[in-house]
Structure 1
Amino acid sequence: MQQNDVYNPPMDPIEVLYEDYEILAVNKPAGLLSVPGKSEDLSDCLLERVEIAFPTARLVHRLDRDTSGVMVFGLTAFAQRHLGQQFEKRTTKKTYVARVAGQMDDKEGEVDLPLTVDWPNRPRQMVCHETGKPSVTEWKVIRSSEVETRVRLFPQTGRTHQLRVHMLSLGHPILGDPLYAPETSEGFDRMMLHAEELRVSHPESGKGIRLRAKAPF
């Protein structure tokens, strides 16, 4: 799906991964916005759908439209604030799965490249050592072939499009990415990036919670 295509989000029921009196976790499908877009035709989004079943749900973080996987919401103002601080202070642990173009030679590594918005080409982001914000991604190869590699990605920061730009910078763009690697979209009905696991501390008990959704690809 190209970035400028007509917005046609999937209509499947949203899968609830975890629910209690403070927090809710769901498995966001690829192709669905996390929050409403600026125009009326982009109003359908995960937040709106979640609020139908959970009227007190409050946004904590976002995933790109074309990324699937774990998203957590606060069900109270306290929970939203507490979870938001965990993301801000980088105490959450995030794990993604991706399929990228080409065979990666090394088994693991780290990308440490500052990112900023590419203003003339918004919403694209780009590496910029002058004005970019610190951005770090660790990665490990799961398996590889001559044409593609399956990797786990561990973002240490949470910049816009961070994983997409960092993998592109290595010469291994995420397959099916309509913005950074449209030439790989043929044969893929979505971008091959999935938020597989999110670890947070419960806002009230402080107990660690592991939220997980298996990659659909």
Structure 2
Amino acid sequence: MTLKYELRTKQTIDTINQLLDSGIKKISVLIRHSDRFFSEDARLEPFMGLTDGGKKFAVEFGTNLRPIPLPRLYSSFLGRCIETAFLIDKGFTKKNNQAIDHNCLDVMLSPFYIKDMEKAVHAVEKQGSLKFLRDWFDNKIDDSIMEDPQKTADLLCEFMKDKIKNLKTNQMAICVSHDWNIYPLKEFKLGLKLEAAGEVGYLDGLVFFEKGNQYYITNYQTDPVLL
């Protein structure tokens, strides 16, 4: 089974660089993992790794990062995110001959908002992921299956802000996650409805930053929004 999503390395890197060029010092980035394999068997979903193309894209993402600030890597505990973070590290360190801290796993970058995986997977198989997401955002999914979507977005915002607060000088947090961790932030924080904004691509990202003791979120589709 093959699904195709846009590769959005350039858009994510450009957004980061525009902020750096404007004098922003503290940044955390939430990105989707790179291109990966799919399976018809939903039970195999957590075990699908990156394609050869996806591995190449992840390395290239790392090589496209500026040497300063140094990336501080975090990821979901699912293999495709760990693999993406590892290869971003390899791309960055090979280009810059600069060792960085090892990737740290964090449950907040994983699908923590899914309370009943079996029922959620069944619903997605029945109606498709975009319809399921719309029902989730419209509070039509029972809260025994999915966490409240607004609360999910709030929790992710706090997580990304905490990553900024804990950065050392000349560091930037790169957090490798899933498209479903990004959609609620686009919906509830950026006002980008999934039907109009389009699907979250590979290495597609949201950029959080601090300016004047306030925190903002942005991406390539919109101006910064105060959190």
Same structural fold, with TM-score higher than 0.5 when normalized by the shorter chain? no
Larger strand proportion of the pair: 1
TM-score by structure 1 length?
0.35
